[in-house]
């Protein structure tokens, strides 16, 4: 079972005026490719394109509507996960699963009701910030300010715990990261982040942050984008360096995948699109990763968090 915790394919499909259900010649992801790659659950991020003139909230509502339009046409093959019960139903079926997420807490516009509106739309995870400052906290691009969770940010985390939404700490600046870990009662995810010790990038997690997520029994989704993996060479080799490091540091219970497909054009050789997964699995086997470890990284670790939070 493979779970991928992050893609920007809803935005990609919307902007490219194509359907997620149709095999596309462009982009990195669509449902036919998801099925052939053997992905059981894909997290679909609703990500407001910050260059657009509409407000982030309005963009996310439009993307959510776009997702739902296609979901309603594809319910024979896809199931949206909105509860523990729907997760169990999915695991018992041949369908592929979708978990709707929102990337960037600016969409809440400082209003807790918007969080609940997004929940009612099916959203089950919120990435608290993108790279910039919002009403919740500072993103990694604002690292130098030292700003952590705001009072509103604290309300958001508490409410997410209460209603059963997964708190996502990818993109948040470090002070806010530690505030979240202290406050949040449930396991957290970093849906699409790598190791800073392996590749020094502000979007990647320090060893202390990785240990912090492990202590919360959370999970880190490895990002496949060259900017965060290391900028040269074979994609699978670079991915392996991050997997090796994180497993050495905290063991194999806290790692997963969050490819970030359709969120970038900057992919390394050998990682073309979502159909890479079967090859990635045989690559790990060849590198002597145990079957139990591979199963954990591919999906079981993330499933543990879904079971705990939903
Ligand atoms: Zn992102």
177 CA from centroid of ligand 1 (Å): 15
CATH 3.20.20.140 fits 2-309, yes or no: yes
238 CA from centroid of ligand 1 (Å): 19
286 CA from centroid of ligand 1 (Å): 30
105 CA from centroid of ligand 1 (Å): 12
6 CA from centroid of ligand 1 (Å): 8
Q: Whose CA is closest to 128, among 193, 75, 73, 173?
A: 173
201 CA from centroid of ligand 1 (Å): 14
171 CA from centroid of ligand 1 (Å): 7
CA end-to-end span of the chain, whole Å?
A: 19
Average pLDDT over residues 39-54: 90
Q: Quickly state the pLDDT bin for 215 (edges 50, 70, 90).
A: very high
> Would residue 236 be called left, alpha or beta, if left means φ above 0 and alpha means ψ between -120 and 50 degrees?
alpha
Please give the mean pLDDT across all residues of the chain: 96
288 CA from centroid of ligand 1 (Å): 31
Residues 20, 78: Cα–Cα separation, whole Å:
11
24 CA from centroid of ligand 1 (Å): 23
pLDDT for residue 24: 87
pLDDT for residue 269: 83
Residues 134, 253: Cα–Cα separation, whole Å:
32
189 CA from centroid of ligand 1 (Å): 13
88 CA from centroid of ligand 1 (Å): 28
Average pLDDT over residues 81-87: 98
92 CA from centroid of ligand 1 (Å): 31
245 CA from centroid of ligand 1 (Å): 22
Q: What digits encode the pLDDT tens for the residues 158-201?
A: 999 999 999 999 999 999 999 999 999 999 999 999 999 999 99
128 CA from centroid of ligand 1 (Å): 11
Q: Quickly state the pLDDT bin for 156 (edges 50, 70, 90).
A: very high
7 CA from centroid of ligand 1 (Å): 8
107 CA from centroid of ligand 1 (Å): 14
Is residue 4 packed enough to be buried (19+ CB in 10 Å), middle (13-18) or exposed (0-12)? buried
Q: What digits encode the pLDDT tens for the residues 218-234?
A: 999 999 999 999 978 89
Does the pLDDT of residue 52 top 80, yes or no? no
250 CA from centroid of ligand 1 (Å): 24
Cβ atoms within 10 Å, residue 290: 11
Q: What digits encode the pLDDT tens for the residues 258-297?
A: 999 998 888 888 898 999 999 999 999 999 999 999 999 9
Helix (H) or strand (E) holding 126: strand 123-127
Provide the pairing of β-strand 39-46 with 78-80: unpaired
Average pLDDT over residues 130-152: 95
89 CA from centroid of ligand 1 (Å): 29
129 CA from centroid of ligand 1 (Å): 9
pLDDT for residue 196: 98
Does the pLDDT of residue 50 top 70, yes or no? no
- The DSSP-derived string for 41-98 is EEEEEE---TTSSS-HHHHHHHHHHHHHHHHHH-TTTEEE--SHHHHHHHHTSSSEEE
Which phi and psi angles does 106 have, rounded to 5°? -60, -20
244 CA from centroid of ligand 1 (Å): 23
56 CA from centroid of ligand 1 (Å): 15
% of the chain with per-residue pLDDT over 70:
99
Q: Whose CA is closest to 50, among 35, 38, 41, 60?
A: 60
16-27 in b/e form (b: 16+ CB < 10 A) is eebbbbeebeeb
% of the chain with per-residue pLDDT over 90:
91
Q: What digits encode the pLDDT tens for the residues 16-30?
A: 999 998 898 888 999
């Amino acid at each position: 079972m493979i779970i991928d915790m992050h893609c920007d394919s809803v935005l990609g499909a919307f902007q490219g005026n194509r359907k997620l259900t149709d095999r596309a010649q462009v982009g990195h992801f669509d449902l036919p490719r998801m099925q052939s790659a053997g992905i059981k659950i894909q997290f679909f991020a609703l990500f407001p394109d910050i260059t657009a003139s509409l407000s982030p909230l309005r963009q996310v509502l439009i993307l959510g509507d776009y997702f739902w339009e296609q979901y309603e046409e594809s319910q024979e093959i896809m199931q949206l996960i909105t509860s523990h019960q729907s997760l169990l139903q999915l695991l018992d079926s041949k369908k592929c699963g979708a978990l709707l997420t929102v990337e960037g807490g600016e969409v809440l516009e400082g209003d807790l009701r918007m969080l609940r509106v997004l929940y009612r739309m099916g959203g089950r995870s919120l990435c608290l910030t993108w790279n910039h400052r919002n009403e919740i906290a500072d993103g990694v691009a604002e690292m130098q300010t030292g700003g952590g969770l705001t009072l509103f940010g604290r309300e958001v985390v508490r409410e997410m715990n209460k209603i059963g939404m997964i708190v996502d700490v990818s993109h948040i600046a470090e002070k806010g990261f530690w505030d979240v870990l202290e406050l949040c009662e449930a396991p957290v995810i970093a849906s699409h982040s790598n190791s800073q010790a392996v590749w020094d990038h502000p979007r990647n997690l320090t060893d202390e942050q990785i240990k912090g997520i492990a202590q919360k029994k959370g999970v880190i989704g490895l990002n496949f984008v060259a900017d965060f993996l290391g900028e040269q060479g074979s994609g699978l080799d670079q991915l392996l360096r991050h997997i090796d490091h994180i497993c050495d540091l905290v063991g194999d219970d806290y790692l997963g995948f969050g490819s970030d497909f359709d969120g970038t054009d900057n992919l390394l050789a050998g990682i073309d699109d979502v159909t890479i997964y079967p090859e990635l699995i045989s690559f790990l086997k060849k590198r002597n990763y145990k079957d139990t470890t591979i199963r954990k990284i591919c999906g079981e670790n993330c499933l543990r968090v879904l079971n705990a939070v939903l």
